[in-house]
Structure 1
Amino acid sequence: MVELRNRQPLVLIASHGEWVGRSVESVLELNDYAVLRVDGGRRALDLARHVSPDTLILDTALSEIDGITVCRALTDDPLFDHSTPIFITSPAPASNRMRTEALEAGAWDFLTQPLDIESVLLKMATFLRARRRLVDAESTSLIDPQTGLYSVRGLRHWAAQLGARASRNHEALACVVVTSNTPADVTTAGKPVSAALSYMADLCRAKSRKSDVVGYVGESRFAILAPDTDETGARQFVSRLQRALDRTTTAGTRAETQTPLHAGFYAAADFSASGVEPVDVVGRAEAALDYAMASGGKGEPLSFDDLPAS
């Protein structure tokens, strides 16, 4: 049993090469992660089941059992916590077939070496934040009491429903996550949310279609699940929001403002061919938003598929 000091997230690394494994381990430890490192697939599978790491990094070229097979075994294990992010890494340029196989096995992301460690850290932080939210949401309502929109749990429920339909009918599916620079602090318990947060909630609801699912994921971020929506549709939705945000009502008069809307999204033209689990689409959109904000983007929506390859 591994005890985590200061509640550090525990990362299980299973790498083919010792140098790569040690390098990633050193960087993670410098960023306040606890690390377990092994070099075999069978050992990684055993530890993942008994230690319950917060995230896993698995190499495709592991001895005994390859990383994709380990990932698939954990995904099929009903006792394994399926909210645990799993990264699959490849020590050589990988084919699209291998990438698809990894995603179908349940990987949250597929990375090629040498790793872009800054991108890995950003994605890991995003996925772990999403995981914490999912865990916290298990005991909460499908509706967020502050905004009246769907909660994280509600979004997860609808993502599963919409994803199943999109896969069955070979339809498009998108998720957009947006935030603005408008302060949206929430007051103490029992008090109403700020006007800015309420305004953004109303705006997202008003500019969405009846078929869309609008939710609040915390930290002034709003997620929109959009069925029958591809990349073009996702970008058009963000443009509609930005135009509406640029015109606000102040003291009963119309006033032009320039409030940048930051947006990240994930979109699949045929969701059945994406190899992505429906419950992961919100996390992917959030990862794109995180990267857009961290890289100093100019407000253009960023697709998860356009994140730098690692």
Structure 2
Amino acid sequence: MVELQSDSTPPGSLPLALIVGDAPRGTGWLRHLLEANGYGALTLTSGREALAVARSAIVDVIAIDAQLADMDGVTLCRLLRDDVRVSAATPVLLVSPSPVLGANRLDGLRAGAWDCVDPTTTPEDLLLRIQAFVRGKREADRQRGAGLVDPTTGLYNRQGLARRVREIGSQAYRERSALACVALGLEVPSGPQAELVVRRCTEALKSAARVSDVVGRLAVQEFAVVAPSTGAQGAVQLAQRLARSLGAAAAHSWPGAPALRLRAGYESVANVGYEPMEPMELLARATSALRTGRPEPGLDWLRRYEPTATA
């Protein structure tokens, strides 16, 4: 039995895991692992029951067996992700008794799973992942209570983003490290499906961003990602990675969904210690680049901030 209680249990009240699956055959080991490491666990076998509980109870992490009695795990992931009554900050894990590779893994991630757990995942690694997810979820809950999180997407709102940008900007100054910001503008056609596209794009942003990145919502269809230790080249690569994830998320929103139109702007500082900049200025420059920046060679949709550009 793996016991990492001192390091793996998130601080505060007992974290609660909702485990969905056939306990004796599929997910019983996960319940024992979590309970031995300071988590409470509620086990259900039905996807429909799990959906009802997730809508009404506050759970810190949801683990779903790949095959349930009434539906497959990917379908439940999708239902949880698309249900506005389930917090977008709640991490969802897809658990499989066999290795999850290639298209199957991508299907799970597209459906809303944060990660896939299979026999190649060690207990120590799994506990550390869940610890990081739960801490992030609880921080999002705390920020939402403080009015710093957008209630629709679970991302930081403008106020929350400003606070976090100042915090990581101060850290970059102390460490003499790079800092970049990528602003993203989605062009989603109006209509009944628009909210669904934005929600799925939000999940794609969370999945594509690094744990250290800060993701916020600037407007209805505008977002920003602030990336520590990231220079100009890294910012371009980040923008490309985000664009691929957003495009895939939009394409899978519903059958026949139109291609997503995306534009992006960025600004970066190679060494914040040598080139001091007010962190909010970095954010302002990236959003300015989104509208009036200089296009990157071969990437017309991506623009870099130019000092002479005016918003």
TM-score (norm 1): 0.50
